[in-house]
Amino acid sequence: MIVVATEDFEVYHGVVQELRERGVTFTTVEPDEDLPDEATVVVTASDEEWSPTGVEVVRADPGEPRPAVDEVVAVLRGGGGRTVVGIDPGERPGIAVLSGDAVVAAFQVPEEEAAVTVRREVEDAVDPLVRIGDGARLVGARIVDEIDVPVELVDETGTTPYLGSGARGMGDVLAAVNIARIEGEEIESRDVEPTPGELTRIKDRSREASEGNRAIDEELARRVALGELTLEEALERHRGGDDD
């Protein structure tokens, strides 16, 4: 059982809200009260010295309850262990954060926010690992280049599960969970050359985004594919006749 015991109202409110949002059963006591016999983990404030014996103690910072609740959930599920982040790359990458076997957080974000999200999630982790699927090569390569933690490239074949009624939109996140659980090949970067089809898709996107229904040229499309330019920057250069 999870027990919240703190005199810090901000910590109490934040932790209780996080636990309720996740549907986790818990109870609360005053720090000087006896713990229930079934207590297994206690959440208290980081600056409180109270440290009961016989249970796991997790300390939460005011204003940042989520890391503590992540740890509590992992302890409760027996999932304490290495932090592993799984990424299913694409236009809106799915991202899953695991602590041991427990999934403690999940996201689906625009491509440009993926690396920022991963860096934030592993910021305080000890020896984190990122596992990224080998699909959507260009997106994956850009994400790998923007994070500074060990990365494994995973064969993502079969990682997207069948989605039943009401589960539409969850596929990328569930695939990220599966990717996080598969050992891959350690890499430092991905050197990829855009395919003709990938360049065509970028030029089509530029035509849709341009005011005059004109596509950028192939060299600019290649630089967008490699992450050297945003699509907006490429369109601006194309309008100005400068693709240097």
DSSP 8-state symbol, 198: H
User: What tens digit of pLDDT does each residue of 13-42 get?
Assistant: 999 999 998 888 899 999 888 899 889 899
DSSP, residue by residue, 31-87: TTSPPPTT--EEEEETT-----SSSEEEEEBTTBHHHHHHHHHHHHTT--S-EEEEE
**CATH node for 83-187:** 3.30.420.140
User: What tens digit of pLDDT does each residue of 51-96 get?
Assistant: 888 888 999 999 899 889 988 887 776 656 789 999 999 989 999 9
Report strand pairing: 83-88 vs 26-28: unpaired
Looking at per-residue confidence, does 216 or 52 come out higher? 216
Any idea where the domains of the chain sit in the sequence? Answer: 2-76, 83-187, 196-240
3-state SS, residue 238: helix
Q: Which CATH number fits domain 2-76: 3.40.50, 2.60.40, 1.10.1060, 1.10.3470?
A: 3.40.50
Supply the pTM of this predicted model. Answer: 0.69
Neighbours of 231 (CB within 10 A): 17
Cβ atoms of residues 99 and 121 within 8 Å:
no
